[in-house]
Amino acid sequence: MGPFSLPTIGLVRRRMNPSRFFRFLTGRLTGRRLDWAIVVVLLLIALMPARGLQPWTGDLARIVAVPIVPLMHFGLATRDRLRPPRATFDPRAPEVIEMEMASERYRTLFEQQRLRVEALEREMLQLRAVRARLGNSGAELATARVVGLDPTRRDGLVRIAVGLRHGVRRDAAVIAHGDILAGVIGADPGEFISLAKPSTRCTLGVRLYPADGVEPAREPSVYLGTVLKPTDGGLWLGDIASDAEVSVGQIARLSDDRFGSAGRGMRVGRVRRILPNEEVPLARRVEVEPLIELADESEVIVVVDPAPPLSGGQP
């Protein structure tokens, strides 16, 4: 026989009996020894590479999940019973596309109405500002939309939707933003459309006020006055004395009596530069830029004559 005889193999089998091995472990691993053994096993498992754990962890997870699967299925069935699942949302369905188009349409209408309300509020504020300036002069106000530029491009004239039927007369003031002289009505206004000359094409008598405001207690005559003459660049030039106190940023306000109480005190422009006068050494010139451009406005206010009273009940 070989080196391992039958009695030897039997002895090894008796010594390696699993039941005796487990009895040995249960007898020795108790108390703190068991705790330390569990910690060591868990530490070894944590340090093992993932390739070594993957083959048996998946099977172990499926075994552990066996008693949980029925409970999970029961919960899903209960949820579907209490709250049935909705149909799958299809963004390309006809009813979905129709709802999106309706939503965009109503959003556009809402934005249009909002802009219209803002325009009406601005118009009311401008009318109130001009009405307060008119006082009891008897003049009336008409709101007009800017239609476009004159096709002839002559003198930069602008077409506005107001005419003789509304009481418009020549040289009537065209006002924007409540207190800015935007222009004047040109010659021969039509029945429904008039040509307005921008203020930058007009010679205006003004007074230069501080940029930070006007003191109501002071008389207008204490402020420096000049006559603004238009230039080719859309600006004005005005002559002032060399010792006059003037600074960049001052506001030019209308003092010309041609426009009555409605135009007196309206803003015209802002002092841009102070230049020497080469023709008159003892004088200087102020360059004034306009606050707005009439062609850029969408709506203006025109001072018109009041409508004649009805005679004998006939229009």
Residue span of the structural domain in which 257 resides: 122-213+222-304
Q: Which residues contact 195 (CB under 8 A, 6 or more apart)?
A: 150, 157, 158, 159, 160, 185, 186, 189
**What is this structure's pTM?**
0.56
Is residue 76 included in any domain, yes or no? no
Nearest-angstrom CA–CA distance, 92 and 256: 67
Kindly compute the dihedral angle of the four CA atoms of residues 88, 91, 94, 99, in this order, to the nearest 10 degrees.
Answer: 110
The answer on pLDDT for 107 being more than 90 is yes
Residue 206's pLDDT band, with cuts at 50, 70 and 90, is very high
Please give the mean pLDDT across all residues of the chain. 79
Task: Flag whether 59 is in a domain.
Answer: no
79 within a domain of the structure (yes/no)? no
End-to-end, the C-alpha distance of the chain in Å comes to 146
* 86 within some domain: no
Asked whether 185 and 164 are in contact (CB, 8 A), the reply is no
Whether residue 178 lies inside any domain: the answer is yes
pLDDT in tens, 251-299: 998 888 787 777 778 889 999 999 988 888 788 999 999 999 988 888 8
pLDDT in tens, 11-63: 444 555 556 656 666 666 677 777 788 888 878 877 777 776 666 667 767 77
- SS3 helix, strand, coil % of the chain, rounded to 5? 40, 25, 35
Give the highest mean pLDDT range of 2-16, 30-44, 106-120.
Answer: 106-120
104 band by pLDDT with thresholds 50, 70 and 90: very high
Measure the CA angle with vertex 216, ends 212 and 218; round to 5°: 95
Provide the pLDDT for residue 4: 44
Q: Is the pLDDT of residue 200 over 80?
A: yes
Q: Answer whether residue 66 is part of any domain.
A: no
Residue at 6 is within a domain: no
Q: Rounded to whole angstroms, what are the CA distances from 20 to 7, 24, 35, 37, 152?
A: 19, 6, 22, 19, 118
Tell me, what amino acid is at 201? R
- Which CATH number fits the domain that encloses residue 182? 2.40.10.340
Query: How many folded domains does the chain comprise?
Result: 1
Give residue 288's pLDDT: 94
- The mean-pLDDT minimum among 34-38, 166-170, 284-288, 306-310 falls in 306-310
Q: Which residues pair with 301 in a beta bridge?
A: 143, 175
The answer to whether residue 228 is domain-embedded is yes
